[in-house]
Amino acid sequence: MGYREEYEKWLKEFADDQATVAELKGIADDEKEIEDRFYTELSFGTAGMRGVLGAGTNRMNLYNVTRATKGFADYINAGDPSYKERGVVIAYDSRRMSPEFAKASALVLAHEGIHAFLFDELRPVPVLSYAVRHLHAIAGIVITASHNPPQYNGYKVYWEDGAQMPPEYADQVLKCIRANRYQDAVQMDEKEALESGLLKIIGHKEVDDDYIAQEKTLSVQPELMKKAGKELKIVYTPIHGSGNKPVRRILKEIGIENVYVVKEQELPDPNFSTVKVPNPEDPAAFTLAMKLADEVGADCIFGTDPDCDRVGIAVKDDEGKYYLMTGNQIGSTLLYYILKSREALGTIPANGAVVKSVVSTELARKIAESFGLVCFDTLTGFKWIANKIQQFQDNGDHTFIFGFEESYGFLSSTFVRDKDGVNASLLIAEAAAWAKMQGKTLYDILQEIYKTYGYYVEKVVSVTLPGKDGLAKMQEIMKNLRANPPKELAGVKVRAVRDYLAGTRTDSEGKVGTVDLPKSDVLYFELEDDAWVCIRPSGTEPKIKLYVNTNAKDAKSSQDENAALVDACKALLA
Q: Which residues are catalytic?
A: 146
- Cα–Cα distance measured from residue 55 to residue 71, given in angstroms and rounded to the nearest whole number: 20
CA distances from 458 to 87, 234, 377, 549 (A): 42, 27, 17, 4
- Are residues 488 and 522 in contact, defined by beta-carbon separation less than 8 angstroms? no
- Cα–Cα distance measured from residue 337 to residue 404, given in angstroms and rounded to the nearest whole number: 14
- Cα–Cα distance measured from residue 362 to residue 406, given in angstroms and rounded to the nearest whole number: 11
Which residues lie closer than 8 Å to 213 by C-beta, 6 or more apart?
A: none
Q: Is the dihedral of CA 32, 38, 44, 49 positive or negative?
A: positive
* 3-state secondary structure at position 529: coil
* 3-state secondary structure at position 525: strand
**Which H or E run includes 108?**
helix 98-111
**Which H or E run includes 409?**
strand 409-411
- Are residues 152 and 43 in contact, defined by beta-carbon separation less than 8 angstroms? no
- Are residues 477 and 542 in contact, defined by beta-carbon separation less than 8 angstroms? no
Question: DSSP letter at 206?
Answer: I
How many CB atoms within 10 Å of residue 469? Answer: 10
Kind of pairing between the strands at 139-143 and 152-159: antiparallel
- Cα–Cα distance measured from residue 3 to residue 27, given in angstroms and rounded to the nearest whole number: 13
Kind of pairing between the strands at 139-143 and 88-92: parallel
- The beta strands (E) that lie in 9-115 are given as 49-52, 88-92
- Cα–Cα distance measured from residue 412 to residue 197, given in angstroms and rounded to the nearest whole number: 36
How many CB atoms within 10 Å of residue 321? Answer: 9
CA angle 373, 376, 377 (to 5 degrees): 150
Which residues lie closer than 8 Å to 42 by C-beta, 6 or more apart?
A: 49, 51, 57, 58, 59, 60, 64
